[in-house]
Amino acid sequence: MQIRRRSVLAGAALTPAVAALGSGTAAARPDNGGEFLVGVGISDATGPVAEVGMMGYSSFEQRAEGLHQRTRARAFAFAESGGTQRVIYVCVDVCMIFQSVHDAVLARLAQLYGDLYTERNVMLTAVHSHAACGGASHDYAYNLAVLGHNRQVFDAEVGGIVEAITAAHDSLAPGSLSYGRSELTDASVNRSRIAFDRNPAEDRDYYPLGIDTSMRVLRITQGGSDVGAINWFPTHGASLTNTNHLISGDNKGAAAYFWEHDREGVRYLDGAPQFVAAFPQTNTGDMSPNLDLRPGHGPTDDEFENTRIIGQRQVEAARAAWDSASENLTGSLDSRIMYLDMANQEVGGEFTPDGRTYRTSPACVGAAMSAGSTEDGPAIPIFPEGTTNPLVDALGGMDAPIPQWLQDAQAPKLVLVAVGLLPPDGWVPHVLKIQILRIGGLFVVGGPAEFTIVSGLRIRRTVADRLGVPLENVIFQGYANSYASYCTTPQEYDAQQYEGGSTLFGRYTLPAYQQGFATLADALRTGSEIPRGPAPRDLSQFQPYVGPGIDRDESPTGRAFGDVLTQPEAKTLTGHQIAVEFVTGHPGNNPRRRGTFFEIQRRSGDHWLRHADDGDWSTKYHWTRTEPHQSVARITWDIPDDTPAGQYRVQHDGDSRDAGGAITAFTGTSNEFEVG
């Protein structure tokens, strides 16, 4: 692990800087003496795992065919001990947090808690897994490849997030916070170095390797025991390629699982684990985990092994930061938000490269965005002549003219589709929430896009300067609360690499965000209030779905649901794989959220105990349609080296649908097999 002089100096200065913030210039609020009320929570946010489009690569061919690991929502609640302020931070193993999910979660929280948790003090973020279920958005552009809004996916994400927040709220108790950082140099690579190198020397010099190597960790202790950690590091959730068809949290979900399962007492099915570890993104727009700059390549040629390695490297770096965390992070809690109409922002010269005033413009997709990223994969699909999409047809087409003024405003981007002009109010969001959370001496700055590392750095500098705090006390959080594609610097935008072509609101998108965050930081510093801004649009009333549905399930002649088609070997060893196949129904009949499609069970006397399930790294659940109404579940277990010797079996739990729509649960059990 390479340590740079700049990083050593920043780390050395960190502890006194954080301690000083209790009475510093950041806010005119009293210090809490180093103690907060803290709580953690976790819940399942997995949607249907079969025949649903997967989110991230925008590949029509990438439809779910099973499950590698369940996607989870992890929530962290902070309250002032003896004060009135609270903040909620949530990280979810999905690709993006869409405005639709954000709004639904806040509506549910209002029903449960009144005005205790609001859009102001709740931040929702995503790990940006490209192997998660798609269809939760109400924004049409992000549903094109998944063929519309999928209510099961939406309900799973909203339900999981609300349950995780509820668990964190219910577990609030006196605790303390500390903050540490470490360096991680072998879990990311800059996939757009040509654009990065266009930035001024002061930006490039901050990142001498061309990557953001900082792992920043908030250590959360309750009653003298460690209960949670938030571990910020930027690398794309794209270790798994667009040829993968298993739902997964990718390398970030793997990292969380590995750390949580390194501790005893973890039982996802029986309630929250004793320790909750989230691995959120920061400014990840140009950071790829594919170290060889090819999808599925680097550090190995096996995409699942790469996912494991990149996840494990993040855990190791997080543990190093955890071990170095300073004690008694002091300060108060606070938050500010503002909604910006990013399609029409007047940006003052303080934030533009040449000191002149400019405007943003309605969202446009550029040629570079359509071409996709060769290092990670494609984005919003643009359809060549003769290609049709039933969702596009249902929405009335996407042939809006591109006026000359808009082409000029987006220059030097070659505009292909003016998605911001498509009826009824654009196919991507343009009224977007920006947010700053204060958690003691830390300031978490949330933006609704994929920001490049220099974009994130510039926003951090702006906020730190306005607050009068050290730069290391400001953490940038991308993928927060909504999603509006990418954000590059103006210099990077001019290169029109994939990220620049995906910066929707034109060359001055980043300066517009900087200007907004400066306003938020000023308000936070002075304790003043600012107008909320325009309301985000509501498109929930017209959300077509033209993807495949579930008609009915049938078992093969002479077979019943749950019958075993392929039995495991009678005896095997650790390090080997067992595979069992069952007659099954469509997983969409019941996604079994907060449950499991199977258990690997171990005999204990006269009883069978759950040893592993569909949330574990070592298992996979493959679903295959064999006939129009028939399907097979193939369950595999790569037996870990530390598996105890003994007798095991596989139990599959599923659900079948009859021609009348009635759903019936069933269970199938394999023969016993010996591991030893």
Is 102 assigned a ligand-binding role in the annotation? no
**Rounded to whole angstroms, how far apart are CA atoms 275 and 263?**
8
Question: Are 472 and 13 a contacting pair, CB within 8 Å?
Answer: yes
DSSP-derived letter for residue 287 is E
Which candidate in 43, 288, 482, 485 is catalytic? Answer: 288
DSSP E strand boundaries for 284-421: 287-288, 333-341, 346-347, 358-359, 365-366, 415-417
Indicate the DSSP class of residue 547.
S
Q: Which bin fits 56, alpha (ψ -120 to 50), beta or left (φ > 0)?
A: left
Query: What's the rounded Cα separation, in Å, for the pair 287 and 188?
Result: 6
Element at 49 (helix H, strand E): none
- The SS3 of residue 115 is coil
Give me 86's structure tokens: 């609270």
What is the CA 154 to chain-centroid distance, rounded? Answer: 15
Residue 245 is labelled as binding a ligand: no
Cβ partners under 8 Å of residue 224, min gap 6: none
Determine the Cα–Cα distance for residues 394 and 566; give it in Å rounded to an integer.
43
Helices (H) and strands (E) in the chain, counts: 14, 33
**Whose CA is closest to 618, among 648, 592, 588, 582?**
648
- Token code pair at residue 476: 């940038």
| 593's tokens | 């959220």
State yes or no: 652 annotated in a binding site.
Answer: no
Is the peptide bond preceding residue 299 cis, with omega within 30 degrees of 0? yes
- Bond from prior residue into 424 cis (ω within 30 degrees of 0): yes
Is 288 an annotated catalytic residue?
A: yes
Residue 256's nearest CA partner among 617, 635, 600 is 617
- Record the tokens describing residue 45, joined without a space: 């946010």
Judge whether 643 and 572 are in contact, CB under 8 Å. Answer: no
Instruction: Give the number of other Cβ atoms within 10 Å of residue 172's Cβ.
Output: 17
Query: Would you state the structure tokens that stand for residue 166, as one six-digit string?
Result: 């509820």
Contacts of 387 (CB under 8 A, 6+ apart): none
- Token pair 């691995």 is found at 279
Rounded CA-CA distance 583/634 in Å is: 9
- Alpha-carbon gap, residue 264 to 491, rounded angstroms: 49
Task: Give the phi and the psi of residue 410 in degrees, each rounded to 5.
Answer: -95, -5
DSSP characters over 609-657: EEEEETTSTTEEEEEEEEETTEEEEEEEEE--TTPPSEEEEEEEEEEEE
Reduced DSSP (H G I as helix, E B as strand, rest coil) percent helix, strand, coil of the chain, to 5: 25, 30, 45
450 is in an annotated binding site: yes
The DSSP secondary-structure symbol of 26 reads S
Distance from C-alpha of 511 to C-alpha of 377, rounded to nearest angstrom: 27
Residue 213 burial class via C-beta count within 10 angstroms: exposed 0-12, middle 13-18, buried 19 and up: buried
Cα–Cα dist 471/475, whole Å: 8
Task: Provide the annotated active-site residues.
Answer: 288
- The annotation places the binding site for Zn(2+) at 128, 236, 450, 486
- The annotation places the binding site at 128, 236, 450, 486
